[in-house]
Amino acid sequence: MLNRIFQHSSKWIVFLGVFFIFSNCGGTKSVQYFTIDMPSPVSSSTSEKTTDYLGIKQLDSGIMFHEDRLIYQDSQREIKYWNYKKWIAPPSVLLTEALKRNLSRAQIFHNVLDYPTSIQTRYVLEGKLNSFEEHDAIEGWTVRVGFELRLFDMELHKFIWEQSFENQAAVTEKTIAGVVQGFDNASSDCIQAAVEQISKLFDK
């Protein structure tokens, strides 16, 4: 009698073990990682507008944008996250690197560096990320990118320029690829506008 009970119990233990293994395998989701990809126009100028260096501080991420998960909103007040769709780095890092790359290629400064740096820099660019999220509405999906920038002159000991930039881009395809493309477009427009304004400050 005891042997029959033991054999019956053993079969159930094996069955439950196999079920647990397959349940875990089937339920595991892989994380998808994305980055922004935008063209960085090369300036036609053969020399920089100033011989001074520019240092760029990493953008302040604020409350919402300190982590790498993609953010979306389908209502006015509620903030939601895609747990399995992430940026390769927080948005503040991605946009700081994009700004640095575009300003380097614009041939405005002698060199563009991360700040703080051991090299003496006359100008320091800092700012804050204000928006970097997807908006899902019945009439269509959009993404919004916005940040504010300030340029500090170390010799004059004051800010010589500040401006806010924001752009909203339509998501033409309701897929993650379409959403990321929307972020590319909105980010590119904001960054190009910022670079153009900074460049005009050093027109002779």
Give the domain ranges of the chain: 1-30, 32-200
Q: What's CA 171's distance to the chain center, in Å?
A: 17
Contacts of 120 (CB under 8 A, 6+ apart): 53
- Joined together, the tokens standing for residue 17 give 């073990």
Give the pLDDT of residue 46. 65
Task: Kindly tell me if the per-residue pLDDT of 159 is higher than 60.
Answer: yes
Render pLDDT for 101-122 as a digit per residue (tens, 0 to 9): 999 999 999 999 999 999 999 9
Cα distance between residue 76 and residue 132, in whole Å: 15
Give the pLDDT of residue 21. 46
Task: Kindly tell me if the per-residue pLDDT of 123 is higher than 80.
Answer: yes
If one looks up domain 32-200 in CATH, what number appears?
3.40.50.10610
Cα distance between residue 112 and residue 54, in whole Å: 5
pTM here is: 0.83
Give the pLDDT of residue 27. 59
The residues that bridge with 151 in the sheet, in sequence order, are 125, 161
Render pLDDT for 12-29 as a digit per residue (tens, 0 to 9): 454 445 444 444 555 578
Give the pLDDT of residue 52. 98
Amino acid residing at 98: A
Render pLDDT for 39-83 as a digit per residue (tens, 0 to 9): 777 666 668 999 999 999 999 998 889 999 999 999 888 999 999
Cα distance between residue 135 and residue 171, in whole Å: 9
What pLDDT band is residue 4 in, cutting at 50, 70 and 90? low
Question: What share of the chain has pLDDT > 70, as a percent?
Answer: 84
